[in-house]
Structure 1
């Protein structure tokens, strides 16, 4: 199979306790699971997926309640999002996997890593909010991020576009259009992902994370950039600032984002290989 064929995206569904979960994958080898921000879908990784898939089995799922995944009733919570991730990795038979999460997807990744511990081979938190008392209390908050009221004249469609326009540069309209499509798919609950994040008790979950962790952020993403220092202090993890980009970094700097993922996964796999070899030698 040629590299181009290896990286060709393949779509699929798996059953879960909530209904079907949708995912797209590319490539083969060690699995790398990519979790998107809300109210997005797997298309946030449209350009990243085949690049990571050139060396690994890259899997981008639609978070429970978003994209083409099941949309259960009842309030969204980070814990329920993580339930969906758990159901997907079990259905795919992923005994061990690398985990990447962007924005809300990063907070979900924290919960998944805390639950599954040694099954998570490495953890990359991209522009992930450090949810502490200040965040939960709304200090430094920005109000409703994506909420719009539907109107008969359709003007709410332009309002939805304008709400995120400042996060994108001229020429990035295709990515902004994908955001609008994703948001319209869940317009009646478009804000709930952000609300669930602000209710999440993150601090008690952090000590349960055993995976080697990297926290990254784009330089213009001022919402998330301050969290790098907090994750470094709480997890003792490495941090990195990308060359440029904003809230939509996987779409704005996909090559750099993919290189960062590939390097981190590769380093983590090598480190685990050395650890396993040392352990084997000790017990040999």
Structure 2
């Protein structure tokens, strides 16, 4: 996804704290997937896969997390439970009933908490990279991770953001890097608000393991390093990694990603070969 536009249908809903922007596709009566992106990016991460998923018989609804993308900011600093409550408020506003939750990184933590809040509405959970930090790593990351940038008249802060994006994701091309730089700028100098919410939150993995869970991510996803901890904590979860995919595997390999997500949502049998 190389811009904040795209071909997917888009809209806004009004909620108590402001407007929420979202992308969507598929038949309104099809099985619904509520997609929660990683921060500080937006639903543009999933633009390329919305149409392939709709063609496979799913309804996809992907909001921009409040404070990110083209959604209005939160009135105060929110916790993960508050982001999860907002996800359900959004789902109500667009008429979603029971859903599969798909969350990536920050969105995965929000998705888990959302499932705990309204388990009767959750058909299943897809976690695209679940960050399970120990206490020491949470403290360390909250202290030094993702420092704010200082806007400068000469525009040098844009290079600071660009260096961060390319440092995290060296395989991004120029257009993809530009889009992420715009997303950082749109969020503002303190783009780490949702990160800090994650660092302050501990996922109840024992409870999470009582849900139907698919672990689906690219083999080169930054959070893939945590796969041993995640699979140990969620022994009943199914694991599918897409070879060669990064954090943006839904954009890089939309057909493969759509195949695996659809197979899980529709509970189709797995085929031999390909992703594992």
| Alpha-carbon distance between aligned partners in 2 of 1:171 and 1:185, rounded to the nearest angstrom | 19
- Per the alignment, in what secondary structure is the counterpart of residue 226 of structure 1? helix
Q: What corresponds to 1:196 in structure 2?
A: 197
- Trace 1:63-82 onto structure 2 (pairs within 5 A): 63-82=65-84
| Alpha-carbon distance between aligned partners in 2 of 1:187 and 1:250, rounded to the nearest angstrom | 26
| Alpha-carbon distance between aligned partners in 2 of 1:266 and 1:97, rounded to the nearest angstrom | 12
Deviations 1:97-152 (A, max 9, x none): 1111111111111111111113111111001201442442337x893236322222
**Rg: which structure is higher?**
1
Deviating more after overlay: 19-28 vs 225-234: 225-234
**Distance of aligned partners of 1:211 and 1:127 in 2 relative to their CA distance in 1, 3 Å threshold:** same
Q: Do the aligned partners of 1:26 and 1:59 also contact (CA within 8 Å) in 2? A: yes
- Trace 1:1-284 onto structure 2 (pairs within 5 A): 9-28=8-27, 29-54=30-55, 55-138=57-140, 143-145=144-146, 147-168=148-169, 172-203=173-204, 206-207=206-207, 210-222=210-222, 224-235=223-234, 236-267=236-267
- Per the alignment, in what secondary structure is the counterpart of residue 188 of structure 1? coil
| Alpha-carbon distance between aligned partners in 2 of 1:257 and 1:45, rounded to the nearest angstrom | 10
Moved runs in structure 1, 4+ residues, more than 4 A?
Answer: none
Unaligned runs of 5+ in 2: 1-6, 270-276
Q: Do the aligned partners of 1:132 and 1:202 also contact (CA within 8 Å) in 2? A: no
Q: Do the aligned partners of 1:216 and 1:228 also contact (CA within 8 Å) in 2? A: no
Q: What corresponds to 2:272 in structure 1?
A: none
Q: Do the aligned partners of 2:151 and 2:189 also contact (CA within 8 Å) in 1? A: no
Q: RMSD between aligned alpha carbons?
A: 2.3
**Distance of aligned partners of 1:210 and 1:95 in 2 relative to their CA distance in 1, 3 Å threshold:** farther
Deviations 1:34-58 (A, max 9, x none): 1111111110111011111222111
Q: What corresponds to 1:3 in structure 2?
A: none
Q: What corresponds to 2:273 in structure 1?
A: none
| Alpha-carbon distance between aligned partners in 1 of 2:87 and 2:96, rounded to the nearest angstrom | 11
State TM-score, norm by structure 2.
0.85
